[in-house]
Amino acid sequence: MYKSTGSWYIVQNEQGEVFNARILGKFKMDELTSTNPVAVGDVVTIETENELEGSVTITEIDDRKNYITRTSPANKHKHHIIASNLDQSLLFATLKDPKTSQGFIDRFLITSEAYHIPSIIVFNKSDLYKAKELEKFAEVRDIYEAIGYKVMGMSIEKKTGVEEVKSLLKDKTTLLSGHSGVGKSSFINIVFPELKLRTQDVSGWSGKGLHTTTFAEMFNLPFGGRVIDTPGIRELGLVDIPKQELAHYFPEMRSLMNDCQFNNCMHTNEPGCAVKAAVEEGLVSMDRYISYCNVLDKIEEKTW
């Protein structure tokens, strides 16, 4: 499934033919927990509904290899599936116009770890970075590379670093994610101009956080693979991660946890905590630890 605009879905068959599709009532069952029964990236079975109009019915959805969700802004108890069957996700970030916080990056990475989706962080708009931002870039790059994430710098404006990012896409299904205005659609446009996506006007980041892309959409790539453009996310609501599990989704903590004195250690105030010791020794980034504590607090609010 390539795009959903409410009650209609755009699907393609293996020959690349495009159809307008609808779903049968029975899938609505799923809406109990998710706001969208069929997600971009889903592999579906279709049956012809109206041959003249080229419309089809989705009769089955294959099990999802994986998927990425966020809590629905309208209803915190429901989640919205952003996309499914992903090989990787590129988290677009910027240090200026707009600024992406490390907290946001960390929440995104927790979600990707929880769903086993490899993530790469791409800092765009490097043409706007002055000494202060360049220093920040070097700092965050070191933090994330030290724990196993690839971090790339790019300027779509100056066409630097773009080819390196493009080369990651071949033969894979890649989700592009990040705040509104970070350049997700611009990236697809510059590497695949034939797709002609709508982007924010040349005045650039307005500061108002207006979304230019309004629906997630998947595109076939000429050299093999698919890329999914998504509307910018302002806040990434985390879905149902139990407190006890959270540290598993921080790779640098995952490897230390076995050395904590208590096997139910939450790494906050417990004695003999290997994670806290590593933070004090500077082996685990203080910023990452703060993100961990912030997210843990949020989970507590939700549970009690």
Residue ranges of alpha helices (H) inside 57-130 are 102-114
Of the candidates 62, 127, 135, 300, which one interacts with ligand GTP according to CB under 6 A?
127
133 lies in the binding site for ligand GTP (CB under 6 A): no
| Residue 125 interacting entry, from ligand GTP, Zn ion, Mg ion, none, C-beta within 5 to 8 Å by type | ligand GTP
Binding mask 198-227 for ligand GTP (x = CB under 6 A): -xx-x-xx-----xxx--------------
Residue 260 contact partner, candidates Mg ion, ligand GTP, Zn ion, none, CB within 5 to 8 A by sort of partner: Zn ion
Q: Which is nearer to Mg ion, 69 or 185 (CB)?
A: 185
Query: CA–CA distance from 203 to each of 100, 183, 207 (Å)?
Result: 19, 13, 11
Nearer to ligand GTP (CB atom), residue 44 or residue 165: 165
Q: Which stretch binds Mg ion (CB under 5 A): 27-35, 111-119, 209-217, 237-245?
A: 209-217
Could you say which DSSP state residue 155 is in? B
**Placement of tokens 């209609």 in the chain:** 8
Q: Which two tokens stand for residue 91?
A: 């988290």
CB of 68 to Mg ion, least distance (A): 17
Q: Quote the CA–CA distance of 247 and 257 in Å, as a whole number.
A: 8
Smallest gap from Cβ 296 to Zn ion, in A, equals 12
- Counting contacts by CB under 5 A, is residue 273 touching Zn ion? yes
Residue 185 binds to Mg ion (criterion: CB under 5 A)? yes
Distances (CA, A) of 10 to 17, 148, 151, 224, 233: 10, 36, 33, 20, 22
Residue 44, beta-bridge partner list? 61
Name which of residues 149 to 168 contact ligand GTP (CB under 6 A).
155-157
Q: How far apart are CA 205 and CA 173, in angstroms?
A: 28
Residues 6+ apart with CB under 8 A from 123: 93, 94, 95, 137, 140, 141, 151, 152, 153, 154
Which residues does 69 contact at the CB level (< 8 Å), separation at least 6? Answer: 34, 79, 80, 81, 82, 111, 115, 239
Considering the complex, state which of residue 20 and residue 212 has its C-beta at the smaller distance from Mg ion.
212
User: Does 180 engage in binding with ligand GTP (CB under 6 A)?
Assistant: yes
Residues 121, 114: Cα–Cα separation, whole Å: 17
Choosing from 265, 278, 279, 284, the residue that interacts with Zn ion (CB under 5 A) is: 265
Q: Is 79 in the site for Zn ion (CB under 5 A)?
A: no
Strand order in the sheet with 217-220: 44-50, 55-61, 18-23, 9-12, 3-4, 217-220, 226-229, 173-177, 88-94, 119-124, 150-153
Residue 127 touches which of ligand GTP, Mg ion, Zn ion, none (CB < 5 to 8 A by kind)?
A: ligand GTP
Q: Which is nearer to ligand GTP, 21 or 91 (CB)?
A: 91
Q: Which residues bind ligand GTP (CB under 6 A)?
A: 124-125, 127-128, 155-157, 180-186, 199-200, 202, 204-205, 211-213, 231-232
Q: Which residues bind Mg ion (CB under 5 A)?
A: 184-185, 212-213
Q: Which residues bind Zn ion (CB under 5 A)?
A: 260, 265, 267, 273, 275
